[in-house]
Chain A
Amino acid sequence: MTLLRADDLSVRHPDGHDLVRGLSFAVEAGARLGLVGESGSGKSLTALAVMGLLPAGMTAAGGVVLGGTQVVGASGRTLDRVRGRSASMVFQEPLTALDPLMRVGRQVAGPIRRRRGLRGGALRAAVMDALSEVRLPERVAGAYPHEISGGQRQRVAIAMALACEPELLIADEPTTALDVTVQAEVLTLLDGLVAGRGMALLFISHDLAVVADVADRIVVLKEGSAVESGRTRDVVREPRHPYTRSLVDSAWALEGELDRLAP
């Protein structure tokens, strides 16, 4: 079953030029697709277009079918039904993606209440479960976002996205804003939770090594167009497009540098 299908998707800036051009891809149930590309290549806009949440003035053309609903041109009410259920999203910068004036517990409670209709004690218990699932201590529930660390904030954001129980999780550079040591932890956690629920994953990153780690298939974006796509192993082993080759080479170069310094 196809959860998400983008057909010839384009995103147009108000000044008339296209930031994403003719992009097509599909995510099957339980599959993992990676979108790789440098910053400004249209990765995040693609994710927002999929959710029907493009910034004001930008318009999408082409087709995006998410959970059986055509997103491009859909009404706000239709979109509210699709968002959360069919797909939810984790953002790059968790400090700005959480409401600064709301305690963490209440923020996690929002989607749980909407999705499962829980109230009172049952809701509180569900919030605690959700927090412990992302390895956060219970006291975090009473904290404001600025009172916890960056890694903890991203775990809260993941808990909120998972609380929607979506069929597809969209992770837009979920580890980029974190310390290197925390990155691996959060990535492993995300990987395990998505696998445990049989969710599909659309993973967006500029870092080929990270994407190769989690995705089965990848699409390489450059200046808004897909330059290459295929199974992760094939693309990494035999990159066909020069841009993909440069991505792969620079990932290996970093790796090689570490090997050289290793005792």
Chain B
Amino acid sequence: MKGRHTFAAGCVLVGLVLAVAVVSLVWLPYDPSDTTGGRLAPPGGEHLLGTDKLGRDLLTQLMVGARIALTVGAGSVLVGGVLGVAAGLLAGFATRWLDDALSAALDILIAFPTLLLAMLVVAVREASLGSAVVAIGLAMSGVVARLTRVLVKRVLAQDYITASRTSGTPWPRLVTEHVLPNIWPTLLVNLALQLGLAVLAEASLSYLGLGPPPPNASWGRLLQEAQATVLTAPLGAIAPGLLLVVLVVGVNLVADGLRDLADPTRRSSR
């Protein structure tokens, strides 16, 4: 049962980040904007991981960052998933011109760089957590929709759909009984991978200053701020980077494990 181990390992890593995020809601070592720690204090003593160049406690920043990473990840997967799956289902069932029109629109959306899309969203709204979620979710929806469309088309071409229709199964039932269950495992894995990518995308947006503004200590922002002082206080860059890796690897492991557990043909071939 390789799937089960992969899933468990992924849960431990994601659970770690989740636990930190939950704790940050009720307890933080310092106030996030408390600058009394002195510039770039070394780790240990008053500040477990030291302080940044403005004198803020690094551990506090990291804990708040975990919260933001998970919010952005889950939020953009929700936005991208709902929009993408809906558009993909529509295109998958559509014939001729509607399918062609939707596919063309999706190709344009996918060809649009995420960063450009983010800048547009930020220009229309303002740099905030919500804008980041909307921008990343929109960019994601194109990829999700295209995948959903292909999966639906593939399932609809299967013999068991024809077989089910020969017994008079009406369309809505065909979708809920056969189409959705058969596209779900692949879709789920893809959404989990997208969650990992969304966290990374938010880090790059923040790194470029397009992410949530300062009181929000996102890991990407921490990386950006630590850039100038990476030689004197390397922990400021290493710690958020490491957490980013833990979360993304964890989510990917959960995704792989879920796919193996959700598919009975895979389950028994192990």
Contacts and interface: CB of A to CB of B under 8 A. Distances in A.
A110 B167 contact: yes
B169 A99 contact: no
B167 A160 contact: yes
A53 B166 CA distance: 8
Interface in B225-270: 263-265, 268
A249 B162 CA distance: 35
B177 interface: yes
Contact of A101 (B163, B165, B173, B264): B264
Contacts of A157: 163
Interface string A76-110: 10001111110111010100111111100000001
A116 interface: no
B239 to A, nearest CB: 43
A146 to B, nearest CB: 5
A110 B169 contact: yes
A101 B95 contact: no
Given A53-B162, A91-B159, A93-B159, A99 B178 contact: yes
B164 interface: yes
Interface residues of A, number: 35
A146 B167 contact: no
B165 A83 contact: yes
Interface string A224-241: 000000000000000000
Interface in A146-183: 146-147, 157, 160-161, 163-164, 170
Contacts of B169: 80, 84, 110, 114
A148 B185 CA distance: 22
Contact of A97 (B163, B168, B185): B163
A99 B164 CA distance: 9
B163 A102 contact: no
Nearest to A170: B166
Interface in B160-182: 160, 162-171, 173, 177-178, 181-182
A110 B164 contact: yes
A52 to B, nearest CB: 9
Could you say which of B95, B164, B167, B265 has the most chain A C-beta atoms within 10 Å of its C-beta? B167
Contacts of A87: 166
A111 interface: yes
Contacts of A161: 166-167
A260 to B, nearest CB: 40
A27 B187 CA distance: 45
Contacts of A82: 168
20 contacts: A51-B166, A53-B162, A76-B171, A82-B168, A83-B168, A84-B166, A87-B166, A88-B167, A89-B163, A93-B159, A96-B159, A97-B160, A101-B182, A101-B263, A102-B178, A102-B181, A110-B164, A110-B173, A146-B268, A164-B167
Interface of B: 95, 158-160, 162-171, 173, 177-178, 181-182, 185, 263-265, 268
